[in-house]
């Protein structure tokens, strides 16, 4: 049945796709070996570096983020190598499962799913590893299951103080283009990104930004790889082309997305997300709920995971809101199933969408009889009004 009004897609990605990007996707597909494509390829391959804050090559795959995880591992490692992973939440868990399926040994540091990567614990493990068994450290910058952002610069510093040569691989799938991230400055070796969140595109593209050290590791790495091979990509990319048929229309749309981000200015984009996150947390606090993130400095600017009081079903609340307000919210993943719901506030998103989203949640809470203090939306509006400097201000 037709549901009037635009759907509020408030899952933490895929995000709302803005009209200019939809229009780019609808353009006729062009010859991926012709001169028009070559120019497009060169432009997006160069332009996307800005979002990663890198001068190094960024490889673009016609794949979801999971593909780019695999690419990061198979381009740099050999069967039986050990990787150190930090279980910050559900997505870190999935990355670990993939590493094991690929025949890597995983040393896992368990986290509490309420805080970010503990750089001191990584430091302690690397400092002990005198034989340099560990070949890579893998971390998720923004854990989409918990709404926790980890301090990657601090992780790099901790690694550096041990003098350990392990590569640093970072998943930025739900932070790229919405949270400040610096591949070169923070000394990351492989950054994994996806199209469907901060970049405002549909799902379908993913990325590896790769350091010289990661490419050098690739020379001796023995994991089988063909589709994911960086070097074939980078060689073809010199002239803007790809070794196999690229996702032409997605690349046309990526060009538009990059133009939009450049026009707004990345620092403004980042503050806009922080502002939305802060307003969302003001509502959550007012309702009397806790966020899943338990550390003030680690709240994610791109999503908020909200814990419901014991005995209340987050899935029932989401179902009510979907039916009555046509607003999908993110579900709890893994051990958080039915305990939390997640509000995405990333991508093409402004103040009215923040308050509209929170209105939908507050109406749902009332309809489901979940005890809360009414007025969360007002609290969010006060937060937005207090944080209204152009380009945002913001703490945290
Ligand atoms: N890593 C993070 C942090 C994610 O949020 C997601 C998806 O939401 C993934 C990895 C997996 O990416 P994809 O579903 O695009 O394969």
- For the chain, the 3-state helix, strand and coil shares in percent, each to the nearest 5, are 45, 15, 40
- Residue among 87, 90, 91, 113 to mutate when testing ligand 1 (max atoms within 8 A of CB): 91
Rounded to the nearest angstrom, the distance between the alpha carbon of 381 and the centre of ligand 1 is: 31
Domain 265-386 class, CATH top level? alpha beta
Rounded to the nearest angstrom, the distance between the alpha carbon of 9 and the centre of ligand 1 is: 17
Query: Over 70: is that where the pLDDT of 392 sits?
Result: no
Q: What's the rounded mean pLDDT across residues 73-80? A: 98
136 token code pair: 């890579």
Are 221 and 75 contacting, i.e. CB atoms less than 8 angstroms apart? yes
Q: How many CB atoms lie within 10 A of CB 146?
A: 34
Q: Which atom of ligand 1 is found nearest the CA of 67? A: 16
Helix axes 248-264, 35-52, angle to 10 degrees: 50
Q: Please state the pTM of the whole predicted model.
A: 0.97
pLDDT confidence bin for 393, thresholds 50/70/90: very low
CA 301 to the chain's CA centroid: 11
Residues within 6 Å of ligand 1 by CB:
13, 64-66, 91, 140, 144, 171, 173-174, 194, 203
Nearest CA to ligand 1 atom 9: 65
pLDDT digits (tens, 9 = 90+) for 79-137: 999 999 999 999 999 999 999 999 999 999 999 999 999 999 999 999 999 999 999 99
- Cα–Cα distance, 73 to 352 (Å, whole number): 41
- Is the backbone peptide bond immediately before 14 cis, with ω within 30 degrees of 0? yes
Query: Over 70: is that where the pLDDT of 396 sits?
Result: no
Map out the domains of the chain as residue ranges.
19-262, 265-386
- Cα–Cα distance, 166 to 126 (Å, whole number): 8
Handedness of CA 324, 326, 330, 335 (dihedral sign): positive
Assigned CATH topology for domain 19-262: 3.40.640
pLDDT digits (tens, 9 = 90+) for 134-183: 999 999 999 999 999 999 999 999 999 999 999 999 999 999 999 999 99
Q: Is 342 annotated as contributing to ligand binding?
A: yes
- Cα–Cα distance, 23 to 25 (Å, whole number): 5
Nearest CA to ligand 1 atom 12: 65
Nearest CA to ligand 1 atom 5: 144
Nearest CA to ligand 1 atom 4: 173
Are 355 and 380 contacting, i.e. CB atoms less than 8 angstroms apart? yes
């Amino acid at each position: 049945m037709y549901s009037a009004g635009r759907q509020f897609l408030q899952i933490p990605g895929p995000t709302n796709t803005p009209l200019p990007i939809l229009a780019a996707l609808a353009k006729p597909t062009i010859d991926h070996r012709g001169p028009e494509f070559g120019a497009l390829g060169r432009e997006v391959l160069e332009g996307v570096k800005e979002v990663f804050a890198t001068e190094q090559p960024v490889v673009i795959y016609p794949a979801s983020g999971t593909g780019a995880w695999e690419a990061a591992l198979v381009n740099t490692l050999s069967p039986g190598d050990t990787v150190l992973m930090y279980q910050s939440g559900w997505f870190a868990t999935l990355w670990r499962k993939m590493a094991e399926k690929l025949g890597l040994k995983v040393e896992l540091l368990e986290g509490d799913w309420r805080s970010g990567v503990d750089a001191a614990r990584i430091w302690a493990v690397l400092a002990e590893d005198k034989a340099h068994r560990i070949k890579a450290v893998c971390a998720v910058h923004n854990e989409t299951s918990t709404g926790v952002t980890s301090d990657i610069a601090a992780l790099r510093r901790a690694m550096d103080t041990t003098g350990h040569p392990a590569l640093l691989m970072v998943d930025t799938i739900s932070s790229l283009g919405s949270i400040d991230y610096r591949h070169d400055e923070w000394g990351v070796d492989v950054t994994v990104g996806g199209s469907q969140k901060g970049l405002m595109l549909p799902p379908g593209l993913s990325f590896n930004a790769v350091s010289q050290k990661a490419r050098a590791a690739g020379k001796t790495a023995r994991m089988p790889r063909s589709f994911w091979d960086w070097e074939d990509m980078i060689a073809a990319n010199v002239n803007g082309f790809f070794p196999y048929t690229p996702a032409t229309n997605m690349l046309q749309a990526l060009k538009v997305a990059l133009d939009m981000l450049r026009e707004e200015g990345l620092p403004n984009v980042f503050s806009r997300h922080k502002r939305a996150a802060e307003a969302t947390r003001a509502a959550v606090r007012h309702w009397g709920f806790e966020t899943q993130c338990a550390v003030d400095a680690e709240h994610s600017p791109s999503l908020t995971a909200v814990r419901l009081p014991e005995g209340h079903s987050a899935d029932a609340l989401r179902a009510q809101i979907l039916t009555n307000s046509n607003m999908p919210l993110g579900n709890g993943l893994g051990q958080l199933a039915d305990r939390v719901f997640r509000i995405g506030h990333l991508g093409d998103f402004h103040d009215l969408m923040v308050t509209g989203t929170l209105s939908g949640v507050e109406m749902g809470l009332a309809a489901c009889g979940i005890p809360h203090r009414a007025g969360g939306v007002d609290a969010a509006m006060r937060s937005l009004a207090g944080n209204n400097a152009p380009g945002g201000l913001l703490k945290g």
